[in-house]
């Protein structure tokens, strides 16, 4: 059977169902087999792997996932695509489609029910309007995930993998690197999608660590401290943290930074994840 990755076949399916692409749902479908093969290769999928795909679209990437893995659970928000998927994936007995907004699902419970709690791989060409909430949902809700391999906007991939003292380093870098080791799989041109998006893309692999990179007393406080430190990039840490919602005044922040051996004149972007952990652990004890 001809794969959906051929532009001709994709157009045929789109026309048959009178499907109209929704910009607001981030619908840019892949029409290039080389990129799909790079995603599959970058995910190092084995025959016994369980996969969650967010946003299968018309099922293009799903077909390759189904052939490589044991089972694929594909979550698609757009109900107009469900009859399409029934046709394009009908011959794959190891694919299950769920019509839902992924953000509304209890994913931890779903992995328990569908995959007996075995660790899964998340592989997807994500809808760009909601990339960060989807990635953070898998990480923060402690869904048993071993790997996340996703197509994202190039700028988001740059931010995720950024190191301290660079322009891309920010709260997203720290939040993701707390849970994962990011690596770039491949850069992706606009021409491999239909319709073409306005932005360049990157496939990024997030290898989920067995334990978070640093030990923190209270994850919520850690994330609040990180966000507050980056809220005003040009301000010193002393000012950013004093005027944040942490409820600590300037004298208190001065004392905390001194105890943590952190120069109050430094900016948030210069702290590495270990320093954020030390700082937030100290703050956790008093807020
Ligand atoms: N996987 C297909 C491909 O590569 O050709 C389609 C990828 S397209 C970039 C993103 C897909 O995610 C669309 O099918 C869109 O309808 C779906 N989507 C958007 N928001 C979603 C959400 N909150 N939950 C689940 N699916 C969503």
Q: Each residue of 194-221: pLDDT tens digit?
A: 999 999 999 999 999 999 999 999 999 9
231, 234, 239, 243: CA torsion to nearest 10: -30
Pocket perturbation via mutation, ligand 1, pick of 25, 105, 134 by most ligand atoms within 8 A of CB: 25
Cis check: omega of the bond before 195, within 30 degrees of 0: yes
Domain ranges within the chain, ordered by starting residue: 7-208, 219-284
Of 3.30.450.20, 3.40.50.150, 3.40.50.10140, 3.40.50.2300, the CATH number of 7-208 is 3.40.50.150
268 in ligand 1 pocket by Cβ < 6 Å? no
Indicate whether 262 pLDDT > 80. yes
55 in ligand 1 pocket by Cβ < 6 Å? yes
Environment class of residue 212 by beta-carbon count within 10 Å: exposed (0-12), middle (13-18) or buried (19+)?
A: middle
Q: Is residue 6 very low, low, confident or very high in pLDDT (cuts 50, 70, 90)?
A: confident
Q: Is residue 232 very low, low, confident or very high in pLDDT (cuts 50, 70, 90)?
A: confident
Indicate whether 119 pLDDT > 70. yes
pLDDT of residue 16: 96
d(CA 32, CA 246): 48
pLDDT of residue 1: 63
130 in ligand 1 pocket by Cβ < 6 Å? yes
Indicate whether 2 pLDDT > 80. no
Q: Whose CA is nearest to atom 14 of ligand 1?
A: 57
61 in ligand 1 pocket by Cβ < 6 Å? yes
4 in ligand 1 pocket by Cβ < 6 Å? no
Across 119-142, average pLDDT:
97
Across 231-238, average pLDDT:
90
Long-range contacts formed by 68-72: CB under 8 A, 24+ apart: 68/40, 69/45, 69/94, 69/121, 70/94, 71/95, 71/96, 71/114, 71/115, 72/96
Are the C-beta atoms of residues 269 and 169 closer than 8 Å to each other? yes
Environment class of residue 215 by beta-carbon count within 10 Å: exposed (0-12), middle (13-18) or buried (19+)?
A: exposed
pLDDT digits (tens, 9 = 90+) for 244-261: 888 899 999 999 999 999
Residue 222's Cβ-side half-sphere holds a number of Cα atoms within 13 Å equal to 24
Q: Whose CA is nearest to atom 11 of ligand 1?
A: 55
Across 15-24, average pLDDT:
96
- ipTM > 0.95? yes
Ligand 1: centre distance to CA 30 (Å): 11
- CB burial of 89-109 (b: ≥16 within 10 Å; e: otherwise) equals beebeebebbeeebeebebee
Does domain 219-284 fall into CATH 2.30.30.830? no
pLDDT of residue 157: 98
Q: Is residue 279 very low, low, confident or very high in pLDDT (cuts 50, 70, 90)?
A: very high
Q: Whose CA is nearest to atom 10 of ligand 1?
A: 127
pLDDT digits (tens, 9 = 90+) for 38-58: 999 999 999 999 999 999 999
Ligand 1: centre distance to CA 46 (Å): 24
Ligand 1: centre distance to CA 71 (Å): 19
37 assigned ligand-binding residue:
no
Across 168-178, average pLDDT:
97
Are the C-beta atoms of residues 66 and 36 closer than 8 Å to each other? no
Distances (CA, A) of 189 to 64, 87, 150, 163, 183: 20, 29, 15, 25, 18
């Amino acid at each position: 059977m001809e794969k959906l990755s051929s532009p001709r076949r994709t157009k045929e399916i789109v026309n048959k169902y009178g499907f109209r692409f929704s910009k607001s749902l981030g619908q840019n479908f892949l029409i290039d087999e080389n990129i799909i093969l790079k995603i599959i290769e970058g995910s190092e999928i084995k025959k016994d792997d369980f996969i969650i795909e967010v946003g299968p679209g018309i099922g293009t990437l799903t077909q390759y996932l189904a052939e490589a893995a044991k089972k694929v659970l594909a979550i698609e928000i757009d109900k107009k695509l469900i009859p399409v998927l029934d046709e394009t994936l009908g011959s794959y007995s190891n694919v299950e489609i769920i019509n839902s907004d992924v953000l509304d699902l209890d994913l931890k419970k779903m992995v328990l029910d569908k995959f007996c709690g075995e660790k899964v791989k998340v592989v997807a060409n994500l809808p760009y309007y909601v990339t960060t909430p989807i990635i953070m949902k898998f990480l923060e809700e402690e869904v048993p995930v071993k790997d996340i391999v996703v197509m994202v906007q190039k700028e988001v991939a740059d931010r995720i993998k950024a190191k301290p003292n660079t322009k891309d380093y920010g709260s997203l870098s720290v939040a993701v690197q707390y849970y994962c080791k990011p690596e770039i799989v491949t850069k992706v041109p606009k021409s491999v999608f239909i319709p073409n998006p306005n932005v360049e893309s990157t496939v990024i692999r997030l290898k989920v660590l067995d334990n978070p990179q640093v030990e923190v007393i209270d994850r919520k406080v850690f994330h609040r401290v990180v966000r507050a430190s980056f809220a005003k990039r040009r301000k010193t840490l002393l000012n950013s943290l004093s005027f944040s919602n942490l409820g600590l005044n300037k004298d208190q922040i001065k004392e905390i930074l001194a105890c943590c051996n952190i120069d109050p004149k430094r900016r948030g972007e210069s702290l590495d994840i270990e320093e954020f952990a030390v700082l937030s652990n100290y703050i956790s004890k008093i807020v």
